[in-house]
Amino acid sequence: MKPIRVFLKERSYDIHVTDSFNNLPNLLTKFQFHKFGIVISHGCILTRFGKQLIAPLKQSGWDIHTITVPESEKSKSLDMAKYLYKQISGISQMRNPVIFAFGGGVVGDLAGFVAATYRRGVEYIQIPTTLLAQVDSSIGGKVGVDLSFGKNLIGAFYQPLLVLDNTTLLKTLPKRQIQSGMSEVIKYGVISDRKLFQFIENNLQDCLNLESNVAQFIVERCCRIKAKVVSKDEKDSTGIRVILNFGHTLGHALEAATGYKKFTHGEAISVGMAFACRLSTNLGVLKQAESNRIVKLLEKVHLPIAVKGVSRRDVMKAMSLDKKFIAGKSRWVLPIMIGKAIVKEELPQKAILSALEHHIFS
Ligand code: GLY
């Protein structure tokens, strides 16, 4: 499959959607660096897929080392970054390694952050292993770690040299992770790709099984959208990239209000998308029938569209905190039809509260 280009002048790079790692050494030959790499991953991922990734690299003369981190959002911390700096220094002996971020969103964000900051920046490669990371978090260079009082508060825009999505890894993902990833895939359909949305509606079971052809089709389709958006607004500064945050204003608040424990990111944004659809229909910008289709698809994937046992007040508080971090304004991505969305700032509090009543129950 032809690579998908992210156009960022001298920081441009390709996303390769493929079914093996065998061609990776070949893809790396155009970069003139020493063949010295450190794979940052989780132990279980290395056990399952490490050999597939590392053997072809070793065969082409790469000196490869591995470092593992625990499989938890807690790994996205400054303490863990410090641990990695120390490990990398010990292995590298002043050589600059190429970092391979081999895992889901946590590994991608953490390893990317370490690559951005170790010795003022070393090259890194994103090799995402979850659906969510393949279609979203590995692309676009948002790297970072969390602080105790907020997610992604320390970070950078630091682009990888390339992204390699091996879709065969997705087949063994736990069901909940596939559903969570599908939430982001549906997001892309709603904001920008009606055909993708229809494809998921018509081939839902195949999409959830992530069989090779279908997985490649949906991953490629989403990566094309993300690449196009990031190419237009790398630093999230012109209001274009914010479209990727459909469902995220409420989704992030829901995650924060529940301590990042109760819901996966995909589940939280599913509630957020259903909520944003309701807001859109209430504001008269989205037809009820279109909203129903979106909500129905989320339900068919067994994603939540409303949650119990969560305080509405906590969610509102988390949303107002989030607002502070985006120049004092809350931003809402509202679908106007399946395949097209707009961004609105500062919706009336009354509209938000009345829609929230249908999605958050204590
Ligand atoms: N996941 C949203 C973004 O990359 O901007």
Q: Is 244 in the pocket of ligand 1 (CB under 6 A)?
A: yes
**What pLDDT is attached to residue 329?**
72
Helix, strand, coil fractions of the chain, as percent rounded to 5:
55, 20, 30
**What pLDDT is attached to residue 260?**
86
**What pLDDT is attached to residue 93?**
87
Tell me the CA distances in angstroms from 35 to 25, 64, 310, one per residue in order: 10, 8, 50
SS3 for 324? Answer: helix
Averaged pLDDT score across all residues of the chain:
95
**What pLDDT is attached to residue 94?**
81
pLDDT for residue 95 is more than 80: yes
Q: Is 140 in the pocket of ligand 1 (CB under 6 A)?
A: yes
**Contact by Cβ (8 Å): 110, 48:** no
Report pLDDT digits (tens) over 10-32: 999 999 999 999 999 999 999 97
Q: Is 108 in the pocket of ligand 1 (CB under 6 A)?
A: no
Distance in Å, CA 184 to ligand 1 centroid: 11
pLDDT for residue 278 is more than 90: yes
**What pLDDT is attached to residue 201?**
98
**What pLDDT is attached to residue 66?**
98
Q: Is 322 in the pocket of ligand 1 (CB under 6 A)?
A: no
Q: For the chain, give the percent of residues with pLDDT over 70.
A: 98
Report pLDDT digits (tens) over 41-51: 999 999 999 99
**Contact by Cβ (8 Å): 196, 222:** yes
Question: Could you give the CA distance from residue 339 to residue 344 in angstroms, rounded to a whole number?
Answer: 17
Question: Could you give the CA distance from residue 98 to residue 34 in angstroms, rounded to a whole number?
Answer: 8
In this structure, which residue's CA is closest to atom 2 in ligand 1? 244
pLDDT for residue 325 is more than 60: no
Instruction: Dig out the tokens for 95 from the structure.
Output: 């050589």
Report pLDDT digits (tens) over 145-158: 998 877 888 999 99
pLDDT for residue 328 is more than 80: no
Q: Is 335 in the pocket of ligand 1 (CB under 6 A)?
A: no
Question: Could you give the CA distance from residue 252 to residue 213 in angstroms, rounded to a whole number?
Answer: 32
pTM over 0.85: yes
Question: Could you give the CA distance from residue 100 to residue 112 in angstroms, rounded to a whole number?
Answer: 9
**What pLDDT is attached to residue 181?**
98
Distance in Å, CA 276 to ligand 1 centroid: 17
Ligand 1 atom closest to Cα of 142?
4
What are the contacts of 2-8 at 24+ separation with CB within 8 A?
A: 4/220, 4/223, 4/224, 4/227, 5/227, 5/231, 6/139, 6/140, 6/159, 6/227, 6/230, 6/231, 7/227, 7/231, 8/159, 8/230, 8/231, 8/234
Q: For the chain, give the percent of residues with pLDDT over 90.
A: 88
Question: Could you give the CA distance from residue 65 to residue 102 in angstroms, rounded to a whole number?
Answer: 12
Ligand 1 atom closest to Cα of 139?
4
With CA atoms as reference, report the closest residue to 118 among 156, 163, 84. 84
Structure-token match 């081939």, residue found = 203
Q: List all residues 6 or more positions away from 176 whose beta carbon is below 8 Å from its beta carbon.
A: 264
With CA atoms as reference, report the closest residue to 37 among 22, 21, 52, 54. 54
Distance in Å, CA 33 to ligand 1 centroid: 29
Ligand 1 atom closest to Cα of 245?
2
**What pLDDT is attached to residue 149?**
77
Report pLDDT digits (tens) over 133-187: 999 999 999 999 998 877 888 999 999 999 999 999 999 999 999 999 999 999 9
Query: Cα dihedral sign for 180, 182, 185, 191?
Result: negative
Beta-bridged to residue 143, according to DSSP, are: 156
With CA atoms as reference, report the closest residue to 184 among 124, 248, 127. 248
Q: List all residues 6 or more positions away from 300 whose beta carbon is below 8 Å from its beta carbon.
A: 204
Ligand 1 atom closest to Cα of 242?
5
Report pLDDT digits (tens) over 221-260: 999 999 999 999 999 999 999 999 999 999 999 998 998 8
SS3 for 337? Answer: strand
Ligand 1 atom closest to Cα of 236?
5
* Most ligand 1 atoms within 8 A of CB, residue of 136, 139, 192, 322 to mutate: 136
SS3 for 333? Answer: strand
Report pLDDT digits (tens) over 55-91: 999 999 999 999 999 999 899 999 999 999 999 999 9
Question: Could you give the CA distance from residue 138 to residue 155 in angstroms, rounded to a whole number?
Answer: 14
Amino acid letter, 143? V
**What pLDDT is attached to residue 150?**
78
Q: Is 151 in the pocket of ligand 1 (CB under 6 A)?
A: no
In this structure, which residue's CA is closest to atom 3 in ligand 1? 244
Q: Is 248 in the pocket of ligand 1 (CB under 6 A)?
A: no
Q: Is 241 in the pocket of ligand 1 (CB under 6 A)?
A: yes
Q: Quote the distance between the C-alpha of residue 202 and its chain's center.
A: 24
